[in-house]
Amino acid sequence: MHENMNVAVCAAFEPELLLEQLRLLGTVGKESTAGRTRLALTDADREGRDTVVGWMRELGLAVHVDRIGNLFGVLDGSSSEEAPLMMGSHIDTVRMAGHLDGAYGVLAALAVLRAFRRAGVTPPRSLVAGAFTNEEGVRFQPDMLGSLVTAGGFPLDLALNRLAMDDGARLGDELKRIGYAGEMEPGALRPREYFELHVEQGPVLEDEGRQIGIVEGVQGISWTRVVLSGAANHAGTTPTRLRKDAGYAAGLIITGVRSIAEALETTVGTVGSIGFEPGLINVIPSGAELTVDLRDPDEGRLLEAERRLDELLHEVSIRAHVDVRSERLVHFAPVPFSQELVAMIERLAEERGLSHRRMISGAGHDAQMMARIAGVAMIFVPSAGGVSHSPDERTSDEDLIAGARLLLDAVLQRL
């Protein structure tokens, strides 16, 4: 685009409104305890979607919802021939979440489209702000499901039939219930580039005092569900040698996962959810269900971590005299992003005088799925204390604005 147009669009960028919308969206799903919870396709997620759709309509964007519930606001370009440029992220959250994870990328994308609108500049090709369904994957697995279906990595019908881990609801029925079972075929909006702006959710940028992370890719992710079946018995009368204690088995797995991670060094391992049956103080647990999250930047080490986990499960079944069944819910190999776009964003950060560094994302993102069908890059801003997936998630206004302005620079550079 002509330099004058770039200047006009940058001048029309409204950081204050971005911060205000982040605060407002952060009130949706507010928990009486702490943080907010907008699990995918719950009423709170619907309310979050309605809020973002309202802001899209205020901007006069064409709003599209596809059959997996992905949400897109489109600013038409002067040419409809050329593939659009898309920015996005997600607005579903984990439980008791911060207000930035996902929402920041969606609302910054809207802020970029708003700058074009306010400057009265029509982009040469369409610009799209997207919010993908079920990025967190805590209710329905796998995570990043909306973008994975968009990228052709998961069949739509299979996705619509996924059952919620919490209440067993069918994903397709939940989409209908909240009014976001769209008509557009997933992937119909196929961008040439996809940019995602996100908080780092880790300690690196803050530790090094840098303002921007230029993300070169995402590490590999493995999720496993484990079901342990022992025998309920009296906590007082049953000798240790006669126990088939599913709770003890779960404890061996939790400590075993930590040992696998420590042994493989770059691997991280988490048993994040666990439940006992019958879950009573004086009954030896007959059953336990837990999940294991393993991650590593290297596919070979991630596969080795999975092998060691499977070995651990076998050993625990013998040692604790319980039946162990496991189901691999997710295996996503590490994903590299576009080196051309990474270098471009790095140069733009230099030009803005922003301190920056290249890095790999420890968290999963929709960008890793969109990298299957588009040129992809991500921009990180620091997380205070490296905290995320927590009500204590914080990023300074200055850093939030710097990241959003760099996103706008990247878009202008590509148009």
Binding site for Mn ion (CB under 5 A): 101-102
Identify what 364 binds: ligand HGY, Mn ion, none; CB under 5 to 8 Å per kind: ligand HGY
Single residue of 48, 137, 146, 202 touching ligand HGY by CB under 6 A? 137
- Binding of ligand HGY by 143 (CB under 6 A): yes
Contact between residue 66 and residue 186 where contact means Cβ atoms under 8 Å apart = yes
Nearer to ligand HGY, 56 or 197 (CB): 197
Nearer to ligand HGY, 136 or 393 (CB): 136
Identify what 102 binds: ligand HGY, Mn ion, none; CB under 5 to 8 Å per kind: Mn ion
Strand partners, 212: 356
Rounded CA-CA distance 274/286 in Å is 14
- Binding of ligand HGY by 334 (CB under 6 A): no
From 30-38, 136-144, 303-311, 318-326, span contacting ligand HGY (CB under 6 A): 136-144
User: Chain-centre distance of CA 85, in angstroms?
Assistant: 20
Site for ligand HGY in 359-378 (CB under 6 A): 363-364
- Binding of ligand HGY by 66 (CB under 6 A): no
Contact between residue 232 and residue 284 where contact means Cβ atoms under 8 Å apart = yes
Total binding residues toward ligand HGY, as defined by CB under 6 A: 6
From 12-20, 53-61, 135-143, 244-252, span contacting ligand HGY (CB under 6 A): 135-143
Q: Which amino acid is at 59?
A: L
- Beta carbon of residue 383, minimum distance to ligand HGY (angstroms, whole number): 13
Rounded CA-CA distance 158/181 in Å is 15
Radius of gyration over every alpha carbon of the chain, rounded to an integer in angstroms = 23
Q: What angle do CA 149, 155, 156 make, to 5 degrees?
A: 70
Contact between residue 142 and residue 19 where contact means Cβ atoms under 8 Å apart = no
Rounded CA-CA distance 105/381 in Å is 11
- Beta carbon of residue 389, minimum distance to ligand HGY (angstroms, whole number): 7
- Binding of ligand HGY by 135 (CB under 6 A): yes
Contact between residue 77 and residue 125 where contact means Cβ atoms under 8 Å apart = yes
Which residue ranges make up the site for ligand HGY (CB under 6 A)?
Answer: 135-137, 143, 363-364
